[in-house]
Amino acid sequence: MKISILLTSYNGEKYITALLDSLRLQSRKADNIMIIDDRSSDSTKAIIEKYIDDYSLSDWSFSVNKKNLGWIKNFWFGIRALSQNSKGADDLIFICDQDDLWHPDKLAVMEKNMLKNPKADVLASGKKDFKAKEINDIPEMKKHYEYDPKKSREFLGYNNSFEFFYPGCTLCARADFLRSIDKYWGDFRYDDYILSSAALKRSLYFYDEKLIFQRLHSNNTTKRGSDAGNYEYQKKESRYNYKKSKALMEFSKELPKQGQAKKIKRLFKFSRIRNDLYEKSSIFSWLHLFFYTDCYYRRKAYFDDFKYVFRRYSSP
């Protein structure tokens, strides 16, 4: 089993050196680390090149995109390249953000978990958020982790929503699984798509140990919760989820019957009706959604949809 790490960077000069240290000092060394910069305008490129040269890291590669792709495409194109170049069916690909910190035993523990659970295609670990007032503020970490099978379990998601809240930086996935879902990818957020596809296949596992420290700061790339109460955001998300549910429907046709096919068909119907609600502001669509409240992450979101769509007309 070989381990590859995908790190994408963009204007990350402030925190990236600490992250690179945490990758280099893993107790189980990665066989390959691919770094793709999305045309940073700061000194990120120079920092990475100097770091690789200073430590003679021959198994690290670094490239810069010809044009800025944005974080979604930059990650997925990197995932595609690593999975297609992987020769072993069980080879693992880890995803890495530029401003986090990895526990030294992250690779070792998660690799052991995947070896012990051949059914698992995707594994998410726990994480701990931290805010650093100074660049060199490093949170205190547990000195050592050993794999504990009691902390590993299959995870199917919340209700029938196929929504997950593990960020991509907590994930590792088998290369052959990533190849299998690549043809259905449609500009989806890479972590959301990988997690949903694995849950559909019933091959998503969670390891309940905080193996990564996620740095919170004003320039974090994804802030999906910040506009959640906004009508335009919800309308955009309804389109996104409808499109994603169609892709999952296609992927489900390749899978053996494991009880999830009915769930994704139901989710597809729900997503279509909810998309109609936001596109047409139809009260009948909202009433119809009452029979699909199990497809919401939280059932109270059914009433939130009414608020987002119809109360905007009564606003002064």
pLDDT in tens, the chain (316 residues): 999 999 999 999 999 999 999 999 999 999 999 999 999 999 999 999 999 999 999 999 999 999 999 999 999 999 999 999 998 878 999 999 999 999 999 999 999 999 999 999 999 999 999 886 656 666 777 788 999 999 999 987 666 888 888 899 999 999 999 999 999 999 999 999 999 999 999 999 999 999 999 988 766 555 545 556 689 999 999 999 999 999 999 999 988 876 578 889 999 999 999 999 999 999 999 999 999 999 998 889 999 999 999 987 555 5
Tokens of 206: 């969670």
- Specify the amino acid at residue 5: I
Query: Within this chain, do residues 211 and 266 fall inside the same structural domain, yes or no?
Result: no
- What pTM did the predictor assign? 0.91
Does residue 221 form part of some domain? Answer: no
* Tokens 């043809």 found at: 183
Query: Within this chain, do residues 239 and 210 fall inside the same structural domain, yes or no?
Result: no
* Tokens 């080879």 found at: 91
Query: Within this chain, do residues 44 and 180 fall inside the same structural domain, yes or no?
Result: yes
Cα–Cα distance for residue pair 171/54, rounded to 1 Å: 29
For residue 125, the enclosing domain spans 3-215
- Specify the amino acid at residue 62: F
Final residue of a domain: which of 215, 240, 263?
A: 215
In this structure, how many other beta carbons lie within 10 angstroms of the beta carbon of residue 133? 5
170, 102 in Cβ contact below 8 A?
no
Query: Within this chain, do residues 46 and 72 fall inside the same structural domain, yes or no?
Result: yes
Final residue of a domain: which of 183, 215, 247?
A: 215
